[in-house]
Amino acid sequence: MITIKEASTKRDLKKFADFPTRLYRDCPYYVPPIRINELKLANPKKNPSGKNCRAKYWLAYKGGKLAGRVSAIINGLDDRKTGLRRVRFCRIDFIDDREVSRTLMNAVEDFAKKEGRRDIIGPLGFNDLDREGLLIEGFDRMSTFETQYNYPYYKTHLEDLGYVKEIDSEEILYTVPKVHDERISRIAQKALEKYDFRILEGMSKRRLIKLYGEKAFRMLDECYSALFCTVPLTGEAIKSTLGSFGLIARLEMMCFVADKDGNVVAGAIALPSIADAVRKSRGRLTPFSILRIIRAVRRPKTVDLVLIGVLPAYRNYGLSAVIIDRVLRGIVASGATLAESNPLLETNDKIHAQFTFTDGEVVRRRRFYKKCL
């Protein structure tokens, strides 16, 4: 027998956060999020997006044992942007049992009906920096720290429940060239000489983030605003993200470009991969796990290509070459041999066109699903 329970107490929310770690205990490809951050997201007072979102969390039990979880989100920013009044589902995990997955999604659907909403879409989180998308290819590779792993049976369960493809995303693995391509540098130099732009440099990482971090994320927000299910980042969300990035970012793998008035018009960020370090510590921050993360940042084998963008009005000014040139130099100098992109929408040709500096292969695909009630 399957029972469903709304997770509302601290104890239940801890069970909600910890269930995937138990489910994937023996899976070498699952990379957990930082546990303390997941607990903060479940607390509206601590969640950076809490003022604009309402979330529900459910736990499914089979025979008295925890067997699955799911959450539903009503995102007020998405409501105002699109007028579509959708319910997002996310953080869905379950054992390979059809009754469990059906019970979980029934909870989401019942919630949507009570709220007068007909469309359910996901997996999507609180904002576009949250883990999102259901893995449908690439089950034999460890996830990046920024993305979520799931077992192959998730796809069949959801599709049997009437969920259909809305759009897919791709993650691409690149080989870092041993020697930097000077052709990119020449294009970048010409762009800087021809137009009145400047690379923001000559300061520490901390100062760069303090002075220009929020401006950079506002710029990226505008770059991505037309993409699937994006929502504006709140000031609280940007502040939280900058705090996290600041701990693992390396100055030479960041590049922000400003116009003559100091407005950030282009930028790119790559981060040393901490996936293996976090996996070994099961998402918990302890003195030993922090040491693992520090080592991974100092001597990265792989880097994650996290964010890249150029304001629409400046996309024909050669600024893509400027930011890629600077970040790629930093990646080569770090000694990393591989670079992985964050999920790129299959329809986002502009972003795909930025990564032409080396050969790459699609190593994972994710799917966003929709169901009309």
Q: Which of 51-60, 130-139, 281-290 has the lowest mean pLDDT?
A: 281-290
Which band of pLDDT confidence, cut at 50, 70 and 90, is reported for residue 356? low
Examine the pLDDT at 196 and tell me if it is beyond 80: yes
CA pair distance 235, 208, nearest whole angstrom: 17
Q: What is the pLDDT of residue 179?
A: 78
Range ranked top by mean pLDDT from 34-43, 132-141, 349-358: 132-141
CA pair distance 138, 149, nearest whole angstrom: 9
Q: How many other CB atoms are found less than 10 A from the CB of residue 156?
A: 12
Cα angle vertex 232, ends 203, 285, to 5°? 60
CA pair distance 69, 16, nearest whole angstrom: 6
| Structure-model confidence comparison of residues 238 and 27, the more confident one | 27
Looking at the DSSP bridge assignments, the partners of residue 164 are 370
Non-local CB neighbours of 42 within 8 Å, separated by 6+ positions: 7, 13, 16, 17, 55, 57
Q: What average pLDDT does this structure show over 87-97?
A: 97
CA pair distance 275, 262, nearest whole angstrom: 35
Residues 59-96 as b or e (16 or more Cβ within 10 Å = b): bbbbeeebbbbbbbbbbebbeeeeeeebbbbbbbbbbe
Which band of pLDDT confidence, cut at 50, 70 and 90, is reported for residue 351? low
Are the beta carbons of 271 and 303 closer than 8 angstroms?
yes
Q: Tell me which amino acid residue 168 is.
A: D
Mean pLDDT, rounded, of the chain: 91
DSSP 8-state code for residue 123? S
Tokens of 272: 């040393």
- Residue (of 142, 154, 64, 138) closest to 105 by Cα position: 154
Looking at the DSSP bridge assignments, the partners of residue 4 are 60
One fold for both 2-170 and 177-357? yes
Give tens-digit pLDDT for 171-192. Answer: 999 998 887 778 888 888 888 8
Examine the pLDDT at 5 and tell me if it is beyond 90: yes
Q: What is the pLDDT of residue 108?
A: 98
Contacts of residues 344-348 at CB distance under 8 Å and 24 or more positions apart, as own/partner, are 344/169, 344/170, 344/171, 344/172, 345/167, 345/168, 345/169, 345/227, 345/228, 346/167, 346/168, 346/169, 346/170, 347/167, 347/228, 348/227
Q: What average pLDDT does this structure show over 339-355?
A: 77
2-170: what CATH class?
alpha beta
Give tens-digit pLDDT for 284-319. Answer: 888 888 899 999 999 999 999 998 999 999 888 889
* Integer angstrom CA distances of residue 144 from 111, 188, 304: 32, 29, 7
Q: Where along the chain do its domains lie?
A: 2-170, 177-357
In percent, the amount of the chain with pLDDT more than 70 equals 97
**CATH-assigned architecture of domain 177-357:** 3-Layer(aba) Sandwich (3.40)
Q: What is the pLDDT of residue 28?
A: 95
Q: What is the pLDDT of residue 353?
A: 61
Give tens-digit pLDDT for 142-167. Answer: 999 999 999 999 999 999 999 999 99
DSSP 8-state code for residue 152? T
Non-local CB neighbours of 17 within 8 Å, separated by 6+ positions: 35, 38, 39, 42
CA pair distance 171, 149, nearest whole angstrom: 13
Q: What average pLDDT does this structure show over 260-265?
A: 90
SS3 167: strand
pTM for the model: 0.92
